Amino acid sequence: MALTVPCVAVRGSIGVSLGQGPPSYEPVKSFPKDDSKTCRAMVFSPDGRYFAWVNGATTKIVECSTWQIITEIKRPKIFSIKFSSQGTYFMTWEPFIVTQSNPSASPNLHIWKSDNGELVKSCVQKRQTDWEPQWSSDEKICGMLNGAEVVLYEDANFQKVAHKIKGAKIASFSISPTCSPYYILCYMPGRSDQPSFGKLFQYPNFESTSAIADKSFFQADKVNIYWNNTGAHALLLTSTEVDKTGASYYGKQTLHYLSTKGETAMLVFNQEGPIHAVQWSPKKNEFCVIYGFMPAKATLFNLKCEPIFEFGTLHRNSIYYSPHGNILILTGFGNLRGHIELWDVDTKKLIAKAEAPDTTLLQWSPDGEHFMTATTAPRLRMGNGFKIWHYTGTLLYERPWNEQEELWEVLWQTFPVSTFPEKVISYKAVEGIAPSQPQASKQAYRPPTARGESLPFKIPKCPYGKKKKSGNKTKKDKKESEASASNNPSTNGQVTTSTNSQSLTSTNVPQCDELEKSKKIKRIKAKLDQIAKLKKQLEGGKQLEINQLDKIKKEADLLKEIEELAL
């Protein structure tokens, strides 16, 4: 029996291509490589049966067993794509466009059969955010957000609406990742001084009084929903765009718990600050949260919302569980240095550490032994490329990009959960390679004649401006020095002209890194203002260019970056 090796799909300015994962890393020759410079999106179906991509002229679907094209959809305006939970259906979204000749606009959301491209449903979906129809894990139920209500279809019969959730404005919803009984969690924003609600319903009882769990909260402009694997427990991460206390540029977050048994709770943390990341364990009934001002805390919680293990306090903002849930990665990307920790979930022991600076994305291989880090545009346009690592922190493969090329996205091929068995964790590092870009030294530079000797002075941090030599003081400088000395009893009225390292790093002199931080924050704020205007234009029905839609996609990254800069 041939060994199953996950492939890696790559999308960038030189098109879409496929390569094998460890140990060969060879190109997949049977894949029809696309050299288009306008490949907007790519995606694997959840079960790994299909792979699809958009090249700006057409959308193609290949069967992963042969890598042969089985479906082609010739609609050049397709911008976003997604498969249903079992890959039977393929969904596409195009920018919503209103013209004088077509004031009501044409349908821009389409559902197709993946294996032959047959169109089964078309409708209007103005918003790009949360545009995707949601499916139960067995594809028996499909739900869509239609204005302020959720419409639900059964057995892919899109000719008839089976049920609706209405009665209050619904901003977002999520179907539990399980088969019957089905549960649907809805976020209903409040008005003015009224609270917002998270309501959990059991299908098909959707009367407001029939909610099996109900959580109210104030200060919520946005809500993210996280289900555990069994679909019996959910977390609501609420966020405000602005923190009225001024404590954080990223607004204010709260975390709430709901269960299908009707239990609700609000998480209480022992460190103030934003909530950076939340993830359920794929293996156990517990979840991990990174929270607090930098350096942030990472804590495991049980279903009673009680802390059960502390990972300590470090500069980190991201959580990645391996597919089997036996290994946990804690790391800090964005404005952080990319320090990676790999933890054994069962023993609560640190397996290894690694450094991946300038990383913009990380993804586990479905085999649970390898993970990939990448530096992608447009977040970072320099040093694009990706790396493949072993879970013991060893670098196995590196693929840098040329400066003239851009890498936009990297994806591991998906597989059914049972494809790769969980293996016993080894703490012994495997053999690997050295990175092509050596890590910057943290030591001060010493000339060759002084190496091996201790430095007799401290190197000052970069002060703003240049220092005047002590012998070239102006009359004004001398008067100020004399006045300062006469008011300071420790100098006995004598003027000092010392230029030691302490005076060079005076607290009255702004540091270069602080000035650079301030400039970055201003630049990011300007970008966020532009995005806010573009979102209003999009909601108003205006047709946006591709680069403008790309700007809107970067909002979450910019918000996270400005939060980290402000700490």
Tens digit of pLDDT for each residue in 35-82? Answer: 999 999 999 999 999 999 999 899 999 999 999 999 999 999 999 999
Asked if the model's pLDDT at residue 129 lies above 50, the reply is yes
Residue with token string 């022992």: 270
3-state secondary structure 480-539: HHHHHHHHCHHHCCCCCCCCCHHHHCCCCCCEHHHHHHHHHHHHHHHHHHHHHHHHHHHH
For residue 179, the model assigns a pLDDT of 81
In this prediction, residues 81-90 reach a mean pLDDT of: 96
pLDDT in tens, 384-433: 999 999 999 999 999 999 888 999 999 999 999 889 999 999 999 999 88
State how far the alpha carbon of 293 is from the alpha carbons of 165, 296, 381, 564, in Å.
Answer: 39, 6, 28, 9
Asked if the model's pLDDT at residue 466 lies above 50, the reply is no
For residue 150, the model assigns a pLDDT of 94
State how far the alpha carbon of 429 is from the alpha carbons of 340, 347, 354, in Å.
Answer: 15, 18, 12
| Cα–Cα dist 520/561, whole Å | 9
For residue 105, the model assigns a pLDDT of 77
pTM, two decimal places: 0.75
Q: Which residue has the higher pLDDT, 444 or 188?
A: 188
pLDDT bin (cut points 50, 70, 90) of residue 4 is confident
pLDDT bin (cut points 50, 70, 90) of residue 34 is very high
pLDDT in tens, 524-561: 888 888 888 888 777 766 766 666 777 888 888 888 78
Residues 6+ apart with CB under 8 A from 559: 249, 250, 251, 528
Asked if the model's pLDDT at residue 379 lies above 50, the reply is yes
For residue 563, the model assigns a pLDDT of 76
| Average pLDDT value over all residues in the chain | 83
Residues β-bridged to residue 214: 199
In this prediction, residues 113-125 reach a mean pLDDT of: 94
For residue 78, the model assigns a pLDDT of 95
For residue 567, the model assigns a pLDDT of 66
Asked if the model's pLDDT at residue 7 lies above 50, the reply is yes
Residue with token string 């002590």: 470
In this prediction, residues 243-252 reach a mean pLDDT of: 61
In this prediction, residues 1-10 reach a mean pLDDT of: 82
pLDDT in tens, 174-216: 999 888 899 999 999 887 778 889 999 999 999 888 899 999 8
Count of beta carbons in the 10 Å neighbourhood of residue 507: 6
Asked if the model's pLDDT at residue 310 lies above 70, the reply is yes
Please answer whether residues 353 and 339 qualify as being in contact, where contact means their C-beta atoms are separated by less than 8 angstroms. Answer: yes
Asked if the model's pLDDT at residue 148 lies above 60, the reply is yes
Say what percent of the chain tops pLDDT 70.
83
pLDDT in tens, 331-350: 998 888 889 999 999 999 99
Among 37, 80, 85, residue whose Cα is nearest residue 59: 80
pLDDT in tens, 269-308: 988 899 999 999 999 999 999 999 989 999 999 999 999 9
Asked if the model's pLDDT at residue 448 lies above 50, the reply is no
Asked if the model's pLDDT at residue 479 lies above 80, the reply is no
Q: Which residue has the higher pLDDT, 518 or 34?
A: 34
For residue 68, the model assigns a pLDDT of 95
Burial of residue 115 (CB within 10 Å: 0-12, 13-18, 19+) is middle
Count of beta carbons in the 10 Å neighbourhood of residue 189: 18
In this prediction, residues 5-33 reach a mean pLDDT of: 93
Q: Which residue has the higher pLDDT, 456 or 46?
A: 46
Q: Cis omega before residue 27 (within 30°)? A: no
275-280 β-sheet, strand order: 275-280, 286-291, 296-302, 307-314
Please tell me the least confidently modeled range out of 228-232, 247-251, 464-468: 464-468
